[in-house]
Amino acid sequence: MSEFEAYRGLFVAESRENHENLVKNLLILEKGPDQNAIDEIFRSVHTLKGASASMGFAEMERLCHAMEDVFQLVRSGTAEITEDLCSLLLACSDLLEQMIDDVEGGGDTSSMNADKQVNALKAWIEQRGGGKAQKKATAPAAKARDATPATETEPSDNSGGLPEYDLQVTVASECMMKDVRALLAIGNLESLGTILSLNPSKEAIDEGNFDGVLTIRIASDAGEEALKTAASGTEIADVDVKPAAKQEPASPKKPTDADKKPAAATADKSREIKNLRVDIHQLDHIMNLVEDLVINRGRLKQIAEQHRIKEMDEAIGMVERSVSDLQNLMMNIRMIPLNQIFNRLPRVVRDVAIYDSKEVEFVIEGGETELDRSVMDGLNDPLLHLIRNSVNHGIESPDAREKAGKPRKGFVKLSAYRDRDNVIIKLTDDGAGINVEKVKSKAIEKGLITQDTANTLTTDQAVDLLFQPGFSTADKISDISGRGVGLDVVKRSIESLKGTIRVETTPGKGSCFELLLPPTMAIVDVMIVRINGRRLGIPISSIVEVANFKRDATHFIGKGEAVLLRDEVLQLMWLNDMVGLSEVCEILIVVQYEKRKCCIPVDLVEGQQEVVVKPLSKLIGNTRGVSGITILGDGEVIPVLDVNTIA
C-alpha cells in the first residue's frame, strides 16, 4: 500500500468531523449572529482546504477556497449571513460530503465539478464588492503555498507585519508514516498564513530524514487556537504554540536545547494519547469472542457443579469474574452517544420547515446518552421518519398558529435519557396534535376498518391505526409525505430492536412520540422455564411476577382463556403451537408489553441466567413470538421468547 493510500482513511475520518462541525455551526449561525460559530466554521473550512490541498484533491480545495473567501467577509463584519447565503453554503457542504464519499471510495474528487457552487460564491462576493479585497487578502497565502523555505536558516519575508508564532509539532511515536503525517500538518498551516521557517525542511522530510518533531515559524493573523487546531489531528501527539520571540543571531547552544526539548516532549506527551480509531468490524469480532466466552463460562460452571472438584470450582470462579469484567468492558466500548444521530437532525428539520414554509425551533437534549452500536444502527431511519412527521404533520403554518393564539414559530424537542436499564427517546411538538376523527375517516376510506368499528375505537386505538402499512393522513403526495410509508416502518424498526413506541396526543396542543429501547441486544438476562419437557428463555426485563396457577380458576372470554390475578383479568397465552400441550402447568409467568399484561403457563422455573441471544438464521426467517436463540451451558439450543409480539 502506498503512503498516499495509507492516509486516505485518515483524511476521510478528519474531514467528516470537520464537515459535521461546519454544518452544525451553519445552522447555529442561521438563527442569529454568533462569533463563536463563525470562528468554528472558518477553522473547519481552513482545515478542509489545507488537508485536500496536501492530498492533491483539487476540486475540493477550490470549493473550500471559495467558501473561505466568503467567510473572510463575514468574519471581518463586511457581510452578514442571510437565509439565501446559508442555503448556498449548505449546498456547498452537501457537495463537500459527496467529495468525501468519493475519496472514501478511492476517487480524487476530479469527477465532482464544483463550478456551479464556486461561481455562485464568487457572484455573491462581487455583489458585496468584496472581490478586490479578497484578491489582496489571498495573495500572501498564495505566495506561501508556492514557496516554503527549506530550513530555519533561510527565512521568508514577513513584509505584511503579521503576528509570528513558533510551533512545535510532535508526531505520535506509534505513527507508521511520520513523514506523510508531518506534510499534512504543514499543508494545513500553509492555508492559515506564511511559513517563515521550517525544520526539518520539506525536502528532508520527503527523503525520510524526520524523527517525529517539527519546528515551524509562521506569520498569521488566525490566532494561536486556529493554528493549533490546523496542526492537530489523529496521530499528532502534541502541538505547542507560542508567540515568536524577537529574532536574534543563533547561538551554538540553541540547536542542542532544541534537540533535547523534542525528545523530552515525545517522552512526556506520548502518554497523553487517549483515543484510538478502531475499525468497527474488529469490535464486532471481539464481541463475538466475548459472547463465546459467556456461553462456555456457563458450560464450565455446570461441569464444575456436576463433578464437585474444589480446585476447579475456585479456578472457574476467577474465570467467571474475569469474563464478567471483560463483558462489561466490551459493552461500554461499544456504547455510542446518541449525538452521532441527533447532530444530523437539525438539518432535516430546517429543510422540511423551508419546504413547508413553516417556522420551527428545534431543541435537542440528552445527546450524551449512550446506546450499543447494534441498537444505534437501526435507529437512524425511525428517527428521521418521526422528525419529518412532526414538522410536516404536527406543526401548523405560521398563520394557522397565529389564529390559534400560538407563537408563529413552532417548537419541536428531541430528548433522551436513561430509565433503569432502558433508554427513552422522546419527540415532542406543540403542533395541532393528532386529529382522531380524520384518522378514523382515512382508515374507513382505505378499508382498514368499518364505520361500526370506528365508532367503538378509543383514542389510543385510533392512534394505533397510524402504524398500519400504507396508512397516511396527507391529502396529497409530496416529497415529504403522502406515500403511506413512514410510521409503519418506524414501528417495525423499533420492534426489531426489541423496543416499544408509545404516542400521546392532545388536540390543538401537540403530540409526544416515546421510544423505549434496550441499551444492548446481544447479552440479556433470561428466566429459563420448562413446558412439556422443552426449555424456553423469557427476558427478565419483560417479567412482572411469577404466580401459582390452578386450571380450575380459568375463565373463557370469547375464544380466549383468562385468569383473575390480583384483581386483574389477564389473558392466558398457551404455547401449544411451539412446544405442544402440557398437562402439568402449575406456574404462571406474568409478562408485560407497554401497558398490556398476559400470562404464560409453564411447568417449571429452572432459574435465571445471562445468555447470548443470536438472531434466527435467514433460512428460517422471522418467527412470530421468538426473538432469537441461545446456547445453554449443557450445549442445548433453546428459543428466547419475544414478549412484544406475544402480548
Task: Tell me, yes or no, whether 484 and 352 share the same domain.
Answer: yes
Same domain for 300 and 439?
no
Which H or E run includes 559?
Answer: none
Mean local confidence (pLDDT), 40-45: 88
Do residue 478 and residue 601 come from a single domain? no
- The CATH number assigned to the domain holding 210 equals 3.30.70.1110
Q: Per-residue pLDDT for 479 more than 50? A: no
Q: pLDDT value at position 309?
A: 79
Mean pLDDT of the chain, nearest integer: 80
pLDDT, position 230: 82
For the chain, the C-alpha Rg in angstroms (whole number) is: 32
Q: State the burial class of residue 267 (Cβ atoms within 10 Å of its Cβ: 0-12, 13-18, 19+).
A: exposed
Q: Do 501 and 527 sit in the same domain of this protein?
A: no
Summarised one tens digit per residue, pLDDT across range 311-333 is 888 888 888 889 888 888 887 88
Dihedral sign from CA coordinates of 532, 534, 540, 541: negative
Helix (H, G, I), strand (E, B) or coil at 275: coil
pLDDT tops 60 at residue 434: yes
Specify whether 502 is located in the same domain as 527.
no
Query: How far is the C-alpha of 505 from the C-alpha of 318, rounded, in Å?
Result: 53
d(CA 567, CA 569): 7
Residue at 265 is within a domain: no
Phi, psi for 626 (deg, rounded to 5): -125, 120
Is the full-model pTM beyond 0.85?
no
The long-range contacts involving 381-385, CB below 8 angstroms and separated by at least 24 positions, are 381/489, 381/490, 381/493, 382/489, 382/490, 382/493, 382/494, 382/515, 383/341, 383/345, 383/414, 383/425, 383/427, 384/345, 384/348, 385/486, 385/487, 385/489, 385/490
Examine the domain organization and report whether 495 and 354 are in the same domain.
Answer: yes
Residue 452, in any domain of the structure: yes
Q: Note whether 434 and 313 are same-domain residues.
A: no
Neighbours of 225 (CB within 10 A): 11
| Mean pLDDT within 400-429 | 90
pLDDT tier, 229 (very low <50, low <70, confident <90, very high otherwise): confident
Compute the Cα dihedral for 390, 392, 393, 398 and give only its sign: positive
Residues 137 and 159 in one domain: no
**pLDDT tens-digit series, residues 273-304:** 455 667 778 888 888 888 888 888 878 888 88
Total number of domains constituting the chain: 5
Considering the domain architecture, whether residues 507 and 363 belong to the same structural domain is answered as yes
Q: Is 270 within a domain?
A: no
Whether residue 22 is predicted with pLDDT greater than 50 in this model: the reply is yes
The predicted-structure confidence for 367-384, as pLDDT tens digits, reads as follows 888 888 878 878 888 898
Residues 64 and 106 in one domain: yes
For residues 167 and 230, state if they share a domain: yes
Q: What domain range includes position 293?
A: 280-336
Task: Point out the domain boundary residue: 517, 537, 552.
Answer: 517
Q: What are phi and psi of 452, to 5 degrees?
A: -65, -45
- Domain-ending residue, one of 245, 272, 293: 245
Please check whether residues 496 and 564 belong to one and the same domain. Answer: no
Percent helix / strand / coil, the chain, rounded to 5: 50, 20, 30
**CATH code: domain of residue 316:** 1.10.287.560
CA distance 169 to 216: 8
pLDDT value of residue 482: 42
> What's the CATH number where 137 sits?
1.20.120.160
Higher pLDDT, 257 or 232: 232
Residue 563, domain member (yes or no):
yes
Strand, helix or coil for residue 403: helix
3-class secondary structure, 588: strand
- The upper half-sphere exposure of residue 165, i.e. CA atoms within 13 Å in the direction of its Cβ, equals 21
Look up the CATH number of the domain holding residue 501: 3.30.565.10
The residue from 501, 517, 533 where one domain ends is 517
In the numeric block, which cell numbers belong to residue 140?
Answer: 500572501
214 within a domain of the structure (yes/no): yes
Asked if residue 529 has pLDDT above 90, the reply is: yes
Encode pLDDT of 555-574 as tens digits: 888 888 899 988 889 999 88
Specify if 609 maps to a domain: yes
The beta-strand segments (E) located in 401-558 are: 410-419, 422-429, 500-506, 510-517, 523-531, 534-539, 543-548, 554-557
Q: 248-252, 390-394, 535-539: which range is least confident on average?
A: 248-252
> Hey, which of 242-246, 590-594, 605-609 has the most confident mean pLDDT?
605-609
pLDDT at position 143 over 60: no
| Among the ranges given (180-184, 260-264, 431-435), the one the predictor scored with the smallest mean pLDDT | 260-264
Bridge partners, 501 (sequence order): 515
In a domain, 237, yes or no: yes
Residue 325 lies in a domain: yes
Give the pLDDT of residue 530.
Answer: 93
